[in-house]
Amino acid sequence: MRKKIIAGNWKMNKNHNEAVELINSLKSGIDTDKSDVVVCVPYVDLLSVKEAIKDTNISLGAQNMHFEDAGAYTGEISAPMLKEIGVKYVVLGHSERRAYFGETDETVNKKVIKALQSDLIPILCVGESLEERELNITMEVVRIQVKKALANVSKEDAKKVVIAYEPIWAIGTGKVATKEQAEEVCKEIRTVIEECYGKEVADVLRIQYGGSVTGDSANELFNMPNIDGGLVGGASLKDDFIKVVNY
Give me the active site residues, please: 94, 166
Among residues 109 and 208, whose Cβ is nearest to ligand PGA? 208
Among residues 38 and 202, whose Cβ is nearest to ligand PGA? 38
Region of 28-36, 80-88, 199-207, 231-239 interacting with ligand PGA (CB under 6 A): 231-239
DSSP 40-55: E--GGGHHHHHHHTTT
Provide, rounded to whole angstroms, the least separation between the CB of residue 195 and ligand PGA. 26
Kindly state whether residue 217 participates in binding ligand PGA, applying the rule CB under 6 A. no
Total residues in contact with ligand PGA, by rule CB under 6 A: 13
Interface with ligand PGA in residues 1-60 (CB under 6 A): 9
| Radius of gyration of the chain from its Cα atoms, rounded to whole angstroms | 17
Nearest to 188 by CA among 141, 125, 135: 141
Q: Which of 61, 210, 215, 229 binds ligand PGA (CB under 6 A)?
A: 210
Q: How far is CA 74 from the centre of its chain?
A: 25
Backbone angles phi, psi at 142, to 5 degrees: -70, -40
Kindly state whether residue 233 participates in binding ligand PGA, applying the rule CB under 6 A. yes
Alpha carbons 188 and 197: distance in angstroms, whole number: 14
Neighbours of 213 (CB within 10 A): 30
Region of 20-28, 67-75, 78-86, 232-240 interacting with ligand PGA (CB under 6 A): 232-240
Interface with ligand PGA in residues 63-122 (CB under 6 A): none
- Going by C-beta distance under 8 Å and a sequence separation of 6 or more, which residues neighbour residue 145? 93, 105, 126, 127
Q: Which of 167, 211, 215, 229 binds ligand PGA (CB under 6 A)?
A: 211
Q: Which of 120, 182, 234, 246 binds ligand PGA (CB under 6 A)?
A: 234
Q: Which of 171, 189, 192, 205 binds ligand PGA (CB under 6 A)?
A: 171
Provide, rounded to whole angstroms, the least separation between the CB of residue 172 and ligand PGA. 4
Helix spans in the chain (H): 16-27, 46-52, 79-84, 95-100, 105-117, 130-134, 138-149, 155-158, 179-197, 199-204, 218-222, 240-245
- Give SS3 for 146: helix
Region of 47-55, 61-69, 76-84, 206-214 interacting with ligand PGA (CB under 6 A): 206-214
- Per the CB < 8 A criterion, the answer to whether 214 and 230 are in contact is no
Region of 19-27, 103-111, 181-189, 205-213 interacting with ligand PGA (CB under 6 A): 205-213
Residues contributing to the site for ligand PGA (CB under 6 A): 9, 166, 171-172, 210-213, 231-235
